[in-house]
A and B are shown apart, each in its own frame.
Chain A
Amino acid sequence: MKKAILPLFFLAIAGFAANAQKVYATKNGQIKFNASSPIEKIEAVNNQVDSKFVDKTGQIVFSALIKSFKFENQLMEDHFNENYLESSKIPKAEFRGFISNIASVDFTKDGKYPVTVEGTLNLHGVQQKVSTSGSLEIVGGKPMIVGVFKVKIKDYGITGLYIGDKIASEAEISVNCKYE
């Protein structure tokens, strides 16, 4: 009788492991912001991006603090925070959504998989739907997500003196996150 139970027990564990979903996370992901115009280079990088995703459902979240964006020029950084994104009032930006084709990614096999991410970006306190394509790369069993998308600055209620002149009307957001 005991002998019959043991294999069942192992089978149950194996079944549980196969169904278990894994949450991949990072606290030091990278997001670059680029709103350069022909007149002015406006670039910033944030290396403190918090992100999590679930391998089975494709559910994904990115959170970034506006004050963690660093510019080469301090004055530009101050203007970005005070005049444009008003980071004292709205300190955070967040994206919540899904990797819609997560099923096509084989997490056990190293390689680069094209992915589509859809969801809602909350920037400057304004929510907008965002959809973009990027890649999910598995290196040594660890995933890395890379993607670039554009946001129209006006869509997020960001107004300022120089928009459309010194600052591009569309900003490019590049995401690069390595997960554990």
Chain B
Amino acid sequence: MKRKIVVGALTLIGFLAAGVWYYVFVYSKTHHRNVADEQGLIVPAGQIVKDYETDEARANKKYLNKAVEIEGFILKKDKDQAGNTTITLRSGDPMANIFCTLKPGEANKLHGTQMVIKGICTGYLSDVVLNEAVVLKSE
């Protein structure tokens, strides 16, 4: 009886350890946060830039690390040093715009000048910065 319990406990510990190992080293490498699955916070291009310019700390509380959905006009399309496509959306403010790095494969969805994109807001430098963005609409 005692032996059964010990064997059972050891098996359980073994499974738990394997589970933890799998989660930390396998699952976390293959499963990344995907902005496409998240509900985006819808905000006009001009508004998010204005919020950051007015009070950066407050804007960070509202937008930082969140999926944000922005509609706007494309100002510039470029490539970063790793080959990812980046786009700048016009805010209407001459000092700061919205700088987005697109997820690989999303660049094919760019057609026109007006678009809706959803990305993770990582903060504010010269522009409001979005990362891992997906294109929802482009015409």
Contact = CB atoms under 8 A, between A and B. Distances in A.
Contacts of A81: 65
A48 B82 contact: no
A19 interface: no
Nearest to B88: A27
Interface in A71-94: 72-76, 81, 87-88, 91-92
A47 B101 contact: yes
Which DSSP category, helix, strand, loop or mixed, fits chain A's interface?
A: strand
Nearest to B79: A28
A91 B120 CA distance: 14
Given A68-B129, A68-B131, A92 B78 contact: no
B64 A48 contact: no
A47 B82 contact: yes
Contacts of A63: 125-126
B64 A67 contact: yes
Interface stretch (B1-9, B10-18, B27-35, B42-50): B27-35
Interface in B54-97: 60, 64-65, 78-82, 84, 86
Contacts of A91: 60, 64, 122-123
A92 B123 contact: yes
Nearest to B56: A91
B28 A75 contact: yes
Nearest to A47: B80
Best-buried of B33, B86, B122, B126 by chain A (most CB within 10 Å): B122
Given A28-B78, A67-B122, A72 B99 contact: no
B127 interface: yes
Interface of B: 23-25, 28-29, 31-33, 60, 64-65, 78-82, 84, 86, 99, 101, 120, 122-127, 129, 131
24 contacts: A27-B126, A28-B101, A30-B81, A47-B81, A47-B84, A48-B80, A48-B101, A48-B125, A48-B129, A48-B131, A50-B126, A63-B125, A65-B124, A65-B129, A67-B65, A70-B131, A74-B28, A74-B31, A75-B24, A88-B64, A88-B65, A91-B64, A91-B123, A178-B81
Closest 10 CB pairs of A and B: A28-B80, A75-B28, A67-B122, A50-B125, A65-B123, A91-B123, A47-B80, A65-B122, A68-B122, A30-B81
Given A27-B99, A67-B122, 6 more contacts: A28-B81, A28-B86, A50-B125, A68-B123, A74-B31, A87-B65
